[in-house]
Amino acid sequence: MKVRVLDDPLIRHTLTKIRDKNTKADRLREYVENITLMCMPYVLKDFPVRRVRVETPLEEGEFEAIEEERIVFVCLLRAGLAMLRGALKSVPMAHSGFLAIRRDEETLRPFLYYKRLPSLRGKWVLVLDPMLATGGTLSLALEELKREEPERLISLHIVASPEGIERVLRDHGELELYTVSIDRGLNERGYIVPGVGDMGDRLFTEGL
Ligand code: URA
C-alpha cells in the first residue's frame, strides 16, 4: 500500500479551519469541498492522459485530457458527501457511487446497509471518506468494491489515525491512500485526536 500525506501549505491551512470547533456547518461544508478539490491534483497526478482533438475558437488541435469516464468516486455516507462535491468539481464527468456502513450495536462490527454503485470493472475507484478512524468501515468498503474488479483502488481522507492506516494496510495491501494529516491516534470513544470531532454531525446536524 502506498500512503501519501499531502503536505501543502494551503491544504494544511484549510485543515486548520476544519479543525476549529468554531467553524460552523455552512463554512465547514465549503472547507471540506475546497480541501478535496485542492487534493485532486495530487491524487490524479499519475493518471494517464490521452490526446483528444478539440477545436478552439481559432483552430483545431490535439490536447491532453484525463479519461474522466474511467474514474468512479465512491462516497462513504454521510460525511463523504461533502467531499464528493469537491471531487466532482475537478472531474465533472466521473461517475459516482455510494456506500453506507454503520456499526451493529450488539456485535460492534461494521455492516453495509446501503450500496449504489455503477460498474467498477476496469475503473479507477477513488473512495472519499474524510475520517479514517479504526479502519473498520474503510476495510469493509474496500472488500465490497474489490468484488467488482476495479483496476485501481485509491482512498482520500482529510484526517487519518495510525491505527486505521495500519488496519487497512493489513487488509488491503494494494490500496493507494492519500490523507492530509495523520493525527496522534484514537481516544477511548474511537474519535481521532486532535482530529475534528464528529465530522458527519458537524457537517449536517449542527444545532439539532
Ligand atoms: N468519525 C468522525 O467523524 N470523527 C472521528 O474522529 C472519527 C470517526
27 is catalytic: no
Q: What is the dihedral of CA 19, 182, 150, 103, to 10 degrees?
A: -70
Of the candidates 82, 74, 66, which has an alpha carbon nearest to the alpha carbon of residue 33?
82
Identify whether the C-beta of residue 202 lies closer than 8 Å to the C-beta of residue 76.
no
Q: Which of 103, 134, 152, 171 is catalytic?
A: 103
> Is residue 63 exposed (0-12), middle (13-18) or buried (19+ Cβ within 10 Å)?
exposed
Q: Return the C-alpha cell found at 73.
A: 468516486
Which of 165, 186, 191 gets mutated to test ligand 1 (max ligand atoms within 8 A of its CB)? 191
Of the candidates 69, 80, 160, which has an alpha carbon nearest to the alpha carbon of residue 121?
69
Q: Is residue 185 within 6 Å of ligand 1 at its C-beta?
A: no
Q: Is residue 198 within 6 Å of ligand 1 at its C-beta?
A: yes
Round the average pLDDT of the chain to a whole number and report it. 95
Strands 2-5 and 176-182, by their bridges, are: parallel
- Assigned CATH for 3-204: 3.40.50.2020
Reported as a single tens digit per residue, the pLDDT across 43-59 is 999 898 999 999 999 99
Give the ligand 1 atom nearest the CA of 202.
3
pLDDT exceeds cutoff 80 at 208: no
Q: Which of 7, 20, 104, 198 is catalytic?
A: 198
Q: 205 CA to middle of ligand 1, Å?
A: 14
pTM: 0.95
For residue 28, the model assigns a pLDDT of: 97
For residue 107, the model assigns a pLDDT of: 79
Q: Tell me, what amino acid is at 134?
A: T
Task: Specify the length of the chain in residues.
Answer: 208
201 is catalytic: yes
35 sits in which H/E element: helix 25-43
Give the ligand 1 atom nearest the CA of 195.
6
Q: What count of other Cβ atoms lies within 10 Å of the Cβ of residue 62?
A: 10
Reported as a single tens digit per residue, the pLDDT across 145-183 is 999 999 999 999 999 999 999 999 999 999 999 999 999
CA 50 from centroid of its chain's CA atoms: 25
104 is catalytic: no
Q: Which of 50, 53, 107, 189 is catalytic?
A: 107
Domains of the chain by residue range: 3-204
For residue 7, the model assigns a pLDDT of: 87
Helix (H, G, I), strand (E, B) or coil at 10: helix
What DSSP character marks residue 69? G
